Structure 1
Amino acid sequence: MDVREPKPRTVLLLQGPPSFFLRDLAGELEQLGHSVLRINLNLGDWLFWWRRGAVNYRGRLRDWRSYLTKFIAIHGVTDIVYYADRLPYHVIAGEVGREAGVAVTALEFGYLRPDWITLERDGMSAYSHFPNDPDEIRALARNMTPPQSGALYTYPHAKEAFCEVVYNLFAYFGRGLYPFYRADRLYNPVVEYISHLPRIFSTRRNRRHSHEVLKELVDAGRPFYFFPLQIDADYQLRANSPFKRQAEAVKVVIRSFATRAPKDTVLFFKQHPLDNAMTHWKSRIARLARRYGVSDRVRFVRAGDLREQLHNALGTVLINSTVGIHAMKAGCPIKTLGFAVYDMPGLTFQGPLDAFWTKAEKPDPELVQDLITVMANTIQVRGNFYSREGKQTGAKAAADRIARGAVNQPGAYVPTPPRLADAMRRGLQPADCFGRQLPQGGLAVAHEEVRP
């Protein structure tokens, strides 16, 4: 186990979640005796930092590599921490850091959310170093304490939404101060946020409709397969699946369902609760269902109780959403179409999608618990990015892991990302968030300027 001797570190923080979490993390690291530096890339970064120790990078993406290489050398950086590992700036930062012998840690919302934060060494999903061998998971879990079940902190969804809007609008309207910053967004943020208004005003109606559709299926005894949609802008889809957009996956699933699933079954789609509605999923799914002759066997809802939906589902098909872990807990068979840290024998169906409809088996409940135990002890910390107590607790735990070099420890770091080779065989084309292809292995980025 590679845990450091206690000695002063110099930690460079790059972009974080749209909250003050990184500011709290910096404070915790400083209390432990370590130095913290920060590079702001846009005005949103500046807004959610608002403390000493920051410099502003106003250069071009193509110059970011050379700038960061010099910055690390001049300041003696020992650690780099960032949120969202496939952001173009972070892809470059990860490679530069590893070449310089700097420890690289990626932050994200927790796999075991809502009460958890993910910390992984070097990368996530297809690029994760977390083990994918069930026997290794079982062996590690034997020496670990299972996490406490149940939520410890309230989660302020409204605050999350507010901070997300403020961050992206500041970044957008602050372009005069950071003229060469290249955002990773698929849509203009002003247009996108306006598009959310109809969903907000129709929340009650959407919930009622979802309940009615589910009740109709359950009361009629009609078995159904569940497909929880993700967000097109989600890194898990854009950088960790063989699809450029989610519509490709939807088409693949409906076509397979039409030809291979039992004729008495239904395919049940649910829109992501934060979807911006700029893709009209209801009409798009309806068109595909008509094309493949299954209009009477396809349902679509915009809301609903996830636990109730999973509990009643015959199986769940998804790209790589963390809904997969909730499905495991519910004992619901799972087929992943993308590349997920939890995709392994005994937990998810390993055969082709066409076979899933008739041959899927429930996840092994003991292996599910072992996976959760190992994750909680190695690549998750308890807390969240938004509630006061959750943020403070998470920042303290994350600072301790980072300072001790205990991310992915004890024992949950495989030197070569164990999913990457298979992901590339299955169609992954490593690219940054602008869709630009990366060199073999996906751990580098070309230097030319790119506009979203």
Structure 2
Amino acid sequence: MSSVSSLVVLFLQGPPGVFARTIADSLEQAGATTLRVNLCAGDWLGWHDSRCVSYRKRLTDWPAWLRAYCIEKQVTHIVYYADRVPYHVAAAEVGAELGITCLTYENGYLRPDWITLEHCGMSAHSRFPEDPDVIRTVGSALPEIDRQPRYRYPFINEAVNEVSWNMANVIFSLAYPGFFRDKLYHPVIDYLSNIPRFAMARRRNRQANHLIDDIISTDLPYYVFPLQLQSDYQLRFNSQYDHIADAAEEVIQSFARNAPGAARLVFKIHPLDNGIEPWSRILRTLARKHGVKKRVVLVDGGNLNHLLTHAAGSLTINSTTGLYSLRAGCPTKVLGIALYDIAGLTCQKSLDDFWRDGSAPDTDLLDALERLLAASIQVKGCFYTKEGREAAATLMAERIMSGRVNQPQAHCDRPPRLEKALERGIVTTFAEQIATRGKTERWTYAWRG
């Protein structure tokens, strides 16, 4: 490991707010050099001191510019939030070419109160092992996890940062004319759509909890499919589906043909869904098409853990709700690419076989997995309170300086899930993202069934 004074750490986009700057300040205090590239007005709003430079050219010119900048500044590390953002996909490729250590971070797997920090990428691009024997051996020897929530924050803290970042990019778009806003919905439409959802949230939750109680009280088997956000990067670039409805149809068709006749399939809308995707109409259309209209149920709100605890099984594309399902002892089927999709935890059989032959997760293996996650690629803290930011930033800086990211023994030389992603035709490179970028930023839902 080189001395701290030789480290030159380049930060790209972080979560909206000042979190990235907080990590950089911790590194600077320890003697490292930190740099920042601002790609848009929202980035500038969160961090614009002497360490920053602005990139205002086109996305297609970004890899060549970044390569030259890293060579000029002798960059040793590149750190970015959300690894599938096109700018960050290119950065990982440039880093691999130049021998630069690339680190990515995101909301944690062990939520609440945790942040993920790992090498290169997540999901399909994660270096975290998937061999259950390795995970069991290494994880079982690690200490218990601190599961005490310490950094709770009201949703308004996150919302203010998110809205400020997005609206700065809309209002001051001319300041960064080349910025490619890789969003599924235009921010104005997204936020306006959320207003009625927030206004009716309490009522929806009451109704949903009553419906959940009714579903459980029948004592009939049911399967739960918690819906992700259509705009979720993990869905868009770590699964084979262009739209969640494509996954929903695959699941409903298989359910109709293979599930027990008395069973029901329960879809649950994400609590932060903006209402643009008409899930009720989409699912009703699909259920009618496959002859199971009376057996498909949509829940909008309510307690997911309560629903999972009594379920016969759960399905997910690659949401972290899959971990909640495993903790509830619920047989779980992953449709996309997920870090926790591991033999012994999730169902490795086909979707058609899952309905009647899904197996409960191995609780010892799950415990070992979570211990290894906590020790190697999770840090305690949060993005949206001062105390949580400083705690997480200090730990992240220490791991970066000591070279302990993905340690102990949680680093594979090649992403072990990448072959599966390639087999499914999942977009994995910057060039592929450039070729498909016309699919971003739309005003209405895309699925037309």
Give the TM-score taking structure 2 as reference length. 0.95
Look up the equivalent residue of 1:367 and give its one-letter code. L
The answer on whether the counterparts of 1:217 and 1:223 sit within 8 Å (CA) in structure 2 is: no
Return the alpha-carbon distance in structure 2 between the equivalents of residues 6 and 62 of structure 1.
33
The answer on whether the counterparts of 2:109 and 2:116 sit within 8 Å (CA) in structure 1 is: yes
Equivalent in 342, 351, 359 of residue 340 of structure 2: 342
Structure 1 range deviating more: 421-430 or 29-38: 421-430
1:379 corresponds in structure 2 to 377
1:324 corresponds in structure 2 to 322
When residues 428 and 446 of structure 1 are mapped into structure 2, their CA distance, relative to the original with a 3 A threshold, is closer
Return the alpha-carbon distance in structure 1 between the equivalents of residues 390 and 300 of structure 2.
33
Look up the equivalent residue of 1:16 and give its one-letter code. G
Return the alpha-carbon distance in structure 2 between the equivalents of residues 446 and 281 of structure 1.
29
The answer on whether the counterparts of 1:82 and 1:90 sit within 8 Å (CA) in structure 2 is: yes
1:177 corresponds in structure 2 to 175
The answer on whether the counterparts of 1:267 and 1:297 sit within 8 Å (CA) in structure 2 is: yes
1:442 corresponds in structure 2 to none
The answer on whether the counterparts of 2:17 and 2:46 sit within 8 Å (CA) in structure 1 is: yes
Quote the RMSD (CA, aligned, Å). Answer: 1.8
1:451: Cα distance to partner? 8.0
**Percent of aligned pairs with the same amino acid:** 44
The answer on whether the counterparts of 2:9 and 2:32 sit within 8 Å (CA) in structure 1 is: yes
Q: Deviations over 1:311-342 (max 9, x none)?
A: 12111101000001111111111100000001
Q: How does 1:17-416 map to 2 (within 5 A)?
A: 17-416=15-414
- Unaligned stretches of 5+ in structure 1? 439-444
Look up the equivalent residue of 1:212 and give its one-letter code. H
Return the alpha-carbon distance in structure 2 between the equivalents of residues 94 and 55 of structure 1.
19
Return the alpha-carbon distance in structure 2 between the equivalents of residues 360 and 147 of structure 1.
28
Look up the equivalent residue of 1:178 and give its one-letter code. Y
Q: Secondary structure at the match of 2:240?
A: coil
- Unaligned stretches of 5+ in structure 2? 442-449
Return the alpha-carbon distance in structure 1 between the equivalents of residues 138 and 2 of structure 2.
21
Return the alpha-carbon distance in structure 1 between the equivalents of residues 440 and 320 of structure 2.
30
When residues 408 and 163 of structure 1 are mapped into structure 2, their CA distance, relative to the original with a 3 A threshold, is same
1:242: Cα distance to partner? 0.7
Equivalent in 428, 432, 442 of residue 437 of structure 1: 432
Q: How does 1:441-452 map to 2 (within 5 A)?
A: none
1:4: Cα distance to partner? 5.1
1:209: Cα distance to partner? 1.4
Aligned residues: 441
Look up the equivalent residue of 2:370 and give its one-letter code. I
The answer on whether the counterparts of 1:13 and 1:22 sit within 8 Å (CA) in structure 2 is: yes
Return the alpha-carbon distance in structure 2 between the equivalents of residues 261 and 233 of structure 1.
30
The answer on whether the counterparts of 1:239 and 1:431 sit within 8 Å (CA) in structure 2 is: no
Q: Deviations over 1:41-70 (max 9, x none)?
A: 000000111433101111111111111111
Q: Larger % of helix: which?
A: 2
1:409: Cα distance to partner? 1.1
1:306: Cα distance to partner? 1.9
2:446 corresponds in structure 1 to none
1:156: Cα distance to partner? 2.5
Q: Secondary structure at the match of 2:223?
A: strand
